[in-house]
Amino acid sequence: MKRSIGAKTILYPTPVIAVSTYDENRKANVMIVAWGGICCSEPPCIAISLRKATYTYHNLLNNKAFIANIAGEEMVDKLDYMGITSGQNVDKLERLGLTPERCHNVNAPYIKEFPLIIQCNVIRVVEIGLHTQFIGEIIDIKVEEKFLDKEGNPDITKIKPVVFDPARREYFSIGDSLGKAFSIGRKLKIGN
Amino acid sequence: MKRSIGAKTILYPTPVIAVSTYDENRKANVMIVAWGGICCSEPPCIAISLRKATYTYHNLLNNKAFIANIAGEEMVDKLDYMGITSGQNVDKLERLGLTPERCHNVNAPYIKEFPLIIQCNVIRVVEIGLHTQFIGEIIDIKVEEKFLDKEGNPDITKIKPVVFDPARREYFSIGDSLGKAFSIGRKLKIGN
């Protein structure tokens, strides 16, 4: 039996994206975005949604560029700090001992200590409601070398990204492998 | 040291959303979408991106409604099957022994056997490139009662949703709790 719980922002899983941008004085800022995801394969794009009240919103409008930095689970308290503090009041990166590095592809800084960084240029701005969606075309991805597998792909089991649960407002780690995509369902095909 | 791996559709984590719709004959179809996420809090919305070549794409344009069904990890092979088979060729739900149920809020069917279903009306269609993004306003969420916690919220540790890793094209389970959001970062605030 199913019970209605009303119209709420619940979806599993959601990411924890540390979005870094430059402000008008070219100072690096970072905030956490859980409202987002991949939204196109060609060109490869990710979408992030922010409220207009955020410092990053104005940086995105000015520079049309951002980095989506993905952290490992050992940084979860730093991620949470980035989500509960505004760049209008404090230099979050400095406070956390993190290093903004200049990116040569897009006009946004990346966080040196983070294992995977996704460099994006904003190609579309979609007004939805309380949140504005920025669609970023992925220009390049950089990965810390020790987190690459033998084929040169990022290894999720080494990076250990954080999962956000918007229902319980809680962070989780990635668990065990459940199988290969485009593969484990083949046995269910008729006459496979 | 970071290495460039090029412009790829990589982000962690991504969801595995079973999107169910009616076709023009009011037959239920389902497909898997990993390109998606929450995109607005007010109104509560989720975005899903699909290629025009999919059966669901046309159903979405016709009916302007869909259900985002979230499965538990024990259904991962069924989810994968939904992703590698087209509704143009086979009745996927019938083949998998799953039951489409009529939804009274939106013009789309939900999957009875899935623990959490998100009922959406399409409020915006955004052409990006290979993928078209459909923004769905969440009208209601229904949850299997045994998967609710004491406060009446869906319990991710009971539902056990699946994580998709687009880099390795592999499914993962949800792991251990890493702490409460808007809380574990407080200790890093100055003078807290």
- Listing DSSP states for B39-74 in one string gives EETTTTEEEEEEETTSHHHHHHHHH-EEEEEE-BGG
B101 belongs to a structural domain:
yes
Residue A11 lies in a domain: no
Chain A residue at shortest CA distance from B15: A13
Size of interface A-B (CB pairs under 8 A): 381
Residue B107 pLDDT > 70: yes
Best CA proximity match to A10, nearest among B176, B45, B173: B45
What local confidence, expressed as pLDDT, does residue A191 receive?
Answer: 64
Nearest to B126 among A77, A126, A163 (CB): A126
- On the question of pLDDT at B137 being above 60, the answer is yes
Is the minimum CB–CB distance between A185 and chain B shorter than 8 Å?
yes
Confidence of residue A190 (pLDDT cuts 50, 70, 90): confident
pLDDT of residue B87: 76
Is B44 in contact with A80 (Cβ distance < 8 A)? no
In a domain, B11, yes or no: no
CA separation for the pair B58, B55 (Å, rounded): 6
Q: Which of B6, B68, B166 sits opposite A11 (nearest CB)?
A: B68
The yes-or-no verdict on residue B158 having pLDDT over 70 is yes
Nearest-CA distance B111 → chain A (Å): 11
pLDDT in tens, B64-76: 999 999 999 999 9
pLDDT at residue number A82: 95
Reduced to 3 states, what is the DSSP secondary structure of residue A188? Answer: helix
Mean pLDDT for the stretch of residues B148-155? 95
pLDDT, position A87: 76
pLDDT at position B86 over 70: yes
Token pair for B25? 């004959």
- Confidence check on the interface: ipTM exceeds 0.95, yes or no: yes
| Cα–Cα distance measured from residue B121 to residue B124, given in angstroms and rounded to the nearest whole number | 9
Task: Indicate the helix (H) or strand (E) that contains B133.
Answer: strand B131-144
Q: What pLDDT is recorded for position A101?
A: 97
Confidence check: pLDDT of A192 > 60: no
Are A9 and B38 inside 8 Å of each other by CB?
Answer: yes
What would the two tokens of residue B137 be? 């306003």
What digits encode the pLDDT tens for the residues A105-155? 999 999 999 999 999 999 999 999 999 999 999 999 999 999 999 999 999
Contacts of B19 in chain A (CB under 8 A): none
User: Which ranges constitute the DSSP H helices of chain B?
Assistant: 55-63, 76-84, 92-96, 156-159
pLDDT at A88: 77
From chain B, the residues in CB contact with A180 under 8 A are 169-171
Structure confidence at residue B90 (pLDDT): 87
The answer to whether B97 contacts chain A (CB < 8 Å) is no
Residues of B with Cβ-Cβ distance to A155 under 8 angstroms = 167-168
* Confidence at residue B89, expressed as pLDDT on a 0 to 100 scale: 79
* pLDDT(B191) > 70: no
Give the domain CATH number at B78: 2.30.110.10
3-class DSSP state of B7: coil
**CB-nearest partner of B188 from A81, A118, A176:** A81
Task: Report yes or no on A6 lying in a domain.
Answer: no
Q: Which residues in chain B touch residue A10, judged by CB atoms under 8 angstroms apart?
A: 116, 118, 141, 154
Q: Hey, which residues does A93 pair with through a beta bridge? A: none
Show residues of chain B in contact with A3, CB under 8 Å: 142-145, 148, 152
Domain-located, residue A134: yes
The B residues from 131 to 150 touching A (CB cutoff 8 Å) are 131, 133, 135, 137-145, 148-149
Mutation for A interface: B96, B165, B169, B189, most A CBs within 10 A: B165
Residue A50 clears pLDDT 90, i.e. is over it: yes
Whether A126 contacts chain B with CB within 8 A: yes
What is the domain count for chain B? 1
Percent of chain A at pLDDT above 70? 99
Range of the domain at A88: 17-188
Look at B77 and A144 and tell me if their CB atoms are within 8 Å: no
Distance CA(B108)–CA(B176), nearest Å, equals: 34
pLDDT > 60? residue B192: no
Is B6 among the domain residues?
A: no
Q: With an 8 Å Cβ cutoff, are A81 and B43 in contact?
A: no
Query: Of all helices (H) and strands (E), which one includes residue A163?
Result: strand A163-165
Q: Residue A104 CB: number of other CB atoms within 10 A?
A: 7
Indicate whether B166 belongs to any domain.
Answer: yes
CB B104 within 8 A of CB A4: no
How many angstroms separate the CA atoms of A77 and B33, rounded? 30
Report pLDDT digits (tens) over B118-128: 999 999 999 99
The answer to whether residue B127 is domain-embedded is: yes
